[in-house]
Structure 1
């Protein structure tokens, strides 16, 4: 007769065997470039991410409100349909730390992301696409903030 105790003991043995064979999913680990998040300017952030001189492109899009009532939670969307995108980044020009978010992209991932950023004051917000061939493309949008979110 199977008891609950025996079932739990057998389950633990099966889990141990699966873990030993490397067949259990691992916890997701966030990887980030510290220098990029500590950058104070757009150029420094792009350089720390491995990019060169950016060029404006209509193939990269950024969405967000024209006026954000609360700078602590400003919704921003970045997207591109270009093939060969390695990373999409969101940069806020006048924030103490320019880089707000970076998304790693592969061919298996649609390069379209929505997030919320914190803005201390009205500023240009940039969507930057770092391409596999080394090109850096961007789009920008000015977002006006009525109540600052970075201590302002």
Structure 2
């Protein structure tokens, strides 16, 4: 019967062999520029992602509460029925880093997403649709926060 130590030694040997042959996956890296994550506002984020000037659109829908009890977990959603969406973004204007979420889209994926974001204070929240034809569409909503979530 094998001991736990022997099993771990053999597993390490197999992992080393697979790594030597190049069969283990490499380190995962974000496919977005660091500047997009470090941006402090909507314009800087869109510039870092190579997007054009944003235009407000009723075709992009942003959902979220009018008043959030706790800024640490604010449920927001973005959706659009327009064809040709490449990415959907969620941005919180007054957070230390505006970009909260990026969702990759294609024709096989319905462009409707819901997630939870942290909000340090009451702020405008933006849902942005980056279209395949280069257009940048957005909608916004003000969400009031009663208890801050970003260190407050």
- For structure 1, the residue ranges without an aligned partner over 5 or more in a row are 1-19
Distance 1:64 1:32 in 2: 28
Q: For residues 137 and 147 of structure 1, what CA distance do their matches in structure 2 show?
A: 30
User: 2:11 aligns to what?
Assistant: none
**CA positional deviation for 1:31:** 3.2
SS state of the match for residue 77, structure 1? Answer: strand
CA distance in 2, matches of 1:48, 1:113: 22
Partner residue in 1 for 2:144: 144
Residue 121 in 1 paired to residue 118 in 2? no
C-alpha separation in 1, matches of 2:131 and 2:42: 17
Counterparts of residues 1-152 of structure 1 (less than 5 Å) = 31-33=30-32, 34-152=34-152
For 1:58 and 1:106, locate their aligned partners in 2 and report how far apart those are by CA, in whole Å.
20
**SS of residue matched to 1:94:** coil
Equivalent residue, structure 2, for 1:13:
none
Aligned length: 128
Superimposed CA distance per residue, residues 53-109 of structure 1 (whole angstroms, 9 cap, x where no aligned partner): 100000000000000010000000100000010000000001000000000001110
Shift of 1:30: 6.6
**C-alpha separation between the residues in 1 aligned to 2:47 and 2:131?**
13
The change in CA–CA distance for 1:111 and 1:30 in structure 2 (over 3 A counts) is farther
Q: Which runs of 4+ in 1 moved over 3 A?
A: 29-32
Separation in structure 2 between the aligned mates of residue 47 and residue 109 of structure 1, nearest angstrom: 25
SS of corresponding position for 1:47: helix
Q: Distance in 2 between matches of 1:92 and 1:45?
A: 11
Following the alignment from structure 2 to structure 1, what is the Cα–Cα distance between the partners of residues 40 and 101? 14
